[in-house]
Structure 1
Amino acid sequence: MSITVKYPQYKLDLVKEKEHFPYSLLLLADETVNAINKYVYDSDVYVLKEQEKELAVFCLYQIDKETMELKNIAVSNELQGKGIGSVLIKEIISIARNTSYNHLIVGTADCGVDQIRFYERNGFVKYGIKKNFFLENYDEPIVENGVQLRDMVMLEMFI
């Protein structure tokens, strides 16, 4: 499956072979392969490519018949800050609508100010906190912006 995005030189493909996940990109948004493996095999994984070069990725996980969770979204370092992430959010909304989902959720670290701002700028609103998420779900402490990750901020969008 291929989806046309705003930039005609790029192609968005659904990963069909579960052995070919772009871990180098997925690790930009999640800390360990073990953490990624907890959701990636049960998710629809889409990769943005230019020819065969993988540039960005996102994972959509079905919570129930109405709700999809964005488990991971990552853009290669050279394309960050160029609007690709926002284009991908629009594609995610389109995918959700076309598959009859009306609710998207996403979680990010409570100290991930840039990530929270990105999601809010793209239409998500905060709705909850998963207390001690990072302490309970990762073997090693994770530090971001000089702060150890503890809680996950949950954001949602109704479409």
Structure 2
Amino acid sequence: MDIRRLGAEEKFPMDLLLLADPSKKSVEDYIKRGECFIAEISGKVIGVYVLLPTRPKTVELVNLAVAEEMHGKGIGKLLVMDAINTAKKRGYKTMEIGTGNSSIGQLALYQKCGFRIIGIDLDFFIKHYPNEIFENGIQCRDMVRLSQDL
């Protein structure tokens, strides 16, 4: 598997980006301002992440997705670790992530990768998304914020 920055002339893998964030408007906004990285196997894109600078020396991992047929193979963890290493090389001191309260697998993954919960943005998904989101039989209402010193 190869992980690389998406070229300026390449199309964003919207199908994957929308797996992690169902708001096309939000995705289109932050991919213009951030850096998009893809994971490929034999030329096929199987994963993606987006880094977005938010404050001096702080970057947010705003999107992380793995093709559904590739779930359970450790690719998500490899992408998170690549994002951390990329951010360190670029001189960032802090990485942040936000995910839904219903995203149980993602919450576990991020904590396994060294992130700590620093806060909750109550009703974030109710206020900012037009349609209800359900995962794991739980309504996604709140944004759980996590952070890691790099």
Match among 1, 19, 22 for residue 28 of structure 1: 19
How far 1:27 moved relative to its partner? 1.4
Partner residue of 1:3? none
- Number of corresponding residues: 150
Structure 1 gaps, min length 5: 1-9
CA drift of 1:85 comes to 1.2
- What is the CA-CA distance between 1:16 and the residue it aligns to? 2.6
CA distance in 1, matches of 2:136, 2:9: 33
Residue 129 and residue 135 in structure 1: after superposition, are their counterparts in 2 closer, same or farther (change >3 A)? Answer: same
Secondary structure in structure 2 of the residue aligned to 1:63: strand
Q: 1:55 aligns with which of 37, 46, 60?
A: 46
Q: Which residue of structure 1 lines up, in the alignment, with residue 122 of structure 2?
A: 131
RMSD across aligned positions (CA): 1.4
Q: Structure 1 residues 26 and 18 mapped into 2: Cα distance closer, same or farther (>3 Å)?
A: farther
Structure (1/2) with the larger helix percentage: 2
Distance 2:69 2:137 in 1: 24
CA contact (8 A) 2:102 2:134 kept: no
Give the equivalent residue in structure 2 for 1:5: none
Q: Is residue 91 of structure 1 aligned with residue 82 of structure 2?
A: yes
Answer yes or no: is 1:121 the counterpart of 2:136.
Answer: no
The equivalences for 1:4-83 within 5 A come to 10-17=1-8, 20-83=11-74
Give the deviation of 1:139 after TM superposition. Answer: 1.2
TM-score (norm 1): 0.88
TM-score where L is the length of structure 2:
0.93
Q: Which runs of 5+ in 2 are unaligned?
A: none
